[in-house]
């Protein structure tokens, strides 16, 4: 079976779990072509050098001083939109006529979803992002743009799929949509093979593991660690000031996973991947989400609601005291979390794939594209340069002045 797998390229979370799924599919006889960009390509060049991938360009999140800049993100998206759209449009036909996929999978990557919906190929979405829009309870936004910009992006990037796998460690807080035409399946988060293996050697150590990458947080983390001289810390990702209770480590995937499996707790942001892996390893979490990124606020909120750790909007010493005081309670709650590697997800995915007939690409769509698209393309280009482009340039200038 030939599969196209679209993967969001901002951050490492999407490509990390997708690589696991891709390897699983290939072991089961599938041929997979990956569509990704940015961090996705960097990760594949290190971890999966034999991957068959194509750089499609795509949406990225802009940060400044450790805060998501929503207007700047939107501005950069608009600025690159014409070129990205043209490149994707050309590759659209290449996939249609040369590769002819039987199935499309997507991890929060819109181009692959649009392709599937347009040509009538079965679509399976696999992600956690949609959770933001279907929770029974939600955290308060710290700003209007934080929440609604995130929801807007999710609504733009998510097409209704034949099957939608929602990855969640807090399924009891998900309010499932009543739409019956599309199958929604909640499964535990996808865990990397390395984490599954290291879990066999996990133990409760005497130190708190810190993983943060934003340089703007150095001063706050230094202050936090100084306020608790009796607590041992091991830090990855930042150039912190070493002292008796703080050890700084250069990043190494192998060493980081070893420390993750042997720590007594984790200080991190609200990223879904590390939170999920910490929960899998039964490690209490002190989560400080990146400001302006509402999805991280939601993940952090769910950690606290499930009793797996403490959420904090800042590196508050009072919040960290609460975390340390309740750390044994968090461990008890984590013991009740059951996940048998990725077996539930794997079995459900294989069952779905077994129902799909290879060669199911709708020939009606092919015929339509061969005859009609060249005419439509020429007229769209004419309309764009005559009507849209002047307005587009004006809006870009206006946004630049705002930023």
| Whole-number pLDDT of residue 364 | 47
Number of other CB atoms surrounding residue 330 within 10 Å: 23
| Whole-number pLDDT of residue 94 | 76
| Whole-number pLDDT of residue 97 | 74
The CA distance from 102 to 154, in Å, is 26
Strand partners, 35: 6, 54
Domains of the chain in start order, with CATH, are 2-190+344-361 (3.40.50.2000), 194-341 (3.40.50.2000)
| Whole-number pLDDT of residue 60 | 64
Angle at 202 between CA 200 and CA 204, to 5 degrees: 155
Mean pLDDT by 10 residues, the chain (403 residues): 92 93 97 93 93 80 60 59 61 77 93 84 93 85 67 76 95 80 87 96 95 86 95 92 93 93 97 97 96 88 98 94 98 96 97 86 53 51 51 52 54
Strands across the sheet containing 2-7: 53-55, 31-36, 2-7, 103-107, 123-127, 163-167, 183-187
| Whole-number pLDDT of residue 104 | 95
pTM: 0.85
| Whole-number pLDDT of residue 363 | 52
Number of other CB atoms surrounding residue 80 within 10 Å: 15
Chain centroid to Cα 298, Å, comes to 13
Dihedral, 277, 316, 331, 130 alpha carbons, nearest 10: -40
């Amino acid at each position: 079976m030939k599969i196209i797998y679209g993967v969001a390229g901002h951050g490492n979370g999407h490509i990390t779990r997708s690589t696991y799924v891709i390897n699983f599919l290939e072991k089961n006889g599938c041929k997979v072509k990956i569509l990704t960009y940015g961090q996705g390509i960097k990760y594949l060049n290190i971890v999966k050098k034999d991957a068959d991938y194509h750089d499609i360009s795509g949406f990225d999140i802009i940060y400044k001083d450790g805060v998501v800049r929503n207007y700047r993100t939107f501005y950069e998206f608009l600025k690159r939109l014409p070129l990205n759209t043209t490149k994707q449009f050309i590759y659209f036909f290449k996939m249609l006529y040369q590769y002819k996929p039987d199935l499309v999978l997507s991890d929060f990557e819109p181009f692959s979803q649009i392709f599937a919906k347009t040509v009538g190929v079965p679509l399976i979405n696999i992600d956690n992002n949609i959770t933001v829009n279907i929770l029974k309870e939600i955290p308060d936004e710290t700003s209007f743009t934080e929440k609604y910009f995130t929801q807007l992006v999710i609504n733009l990037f998510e097409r209704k799929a034949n099957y939608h796998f929602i990855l969640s460690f807090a399924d009891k807080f998900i309010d499932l949509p009543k739409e019956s035409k599309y199958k929604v399946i909640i499964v535990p988060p996808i865990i990397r093979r390395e984490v599954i293996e290291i879990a066999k050697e996990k133990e409760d150590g005497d130190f708190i593991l810190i993983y943060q990458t934003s340089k703007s947080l150095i001063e706050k983390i230094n202050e936090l660690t100084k306020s608790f001289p009796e607590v041992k810390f091991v830090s990855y990702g930042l150039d912190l000031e070493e002292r008796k209770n703080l050890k700084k480590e250069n990043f190494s995937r192998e060493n980081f996973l070893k420390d993750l499996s042997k720590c007594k707790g984790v200080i991190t942001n609200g990223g879904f991947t590390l939170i999920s892996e910490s929960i899998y390893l039964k490690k209490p979490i002190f989560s400080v989400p990146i400001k302006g990124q509402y999805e991280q606020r939601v993940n952090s909120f769910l950690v606290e609601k499930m009793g797996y750790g403490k959420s904090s909007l800042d590196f508050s010493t009072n919040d960290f005291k609460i975390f340390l005081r309740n750390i044994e309670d968090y461990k008890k709650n984590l013991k009740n979390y059951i996940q048998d590697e990725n077996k539930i997800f794997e079995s459900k995915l294989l069952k779905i794939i077994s129902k799909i007939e290879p060669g199911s690409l709708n020939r009606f769509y092919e015929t339509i594209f061969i005859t009609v698209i060249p005419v439509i393309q020429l007229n769209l280009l004419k309309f764009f340069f005559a009507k849209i482009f002047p307005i587009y340039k004006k809006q870009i200038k206006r946004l630049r002045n705002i930023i």
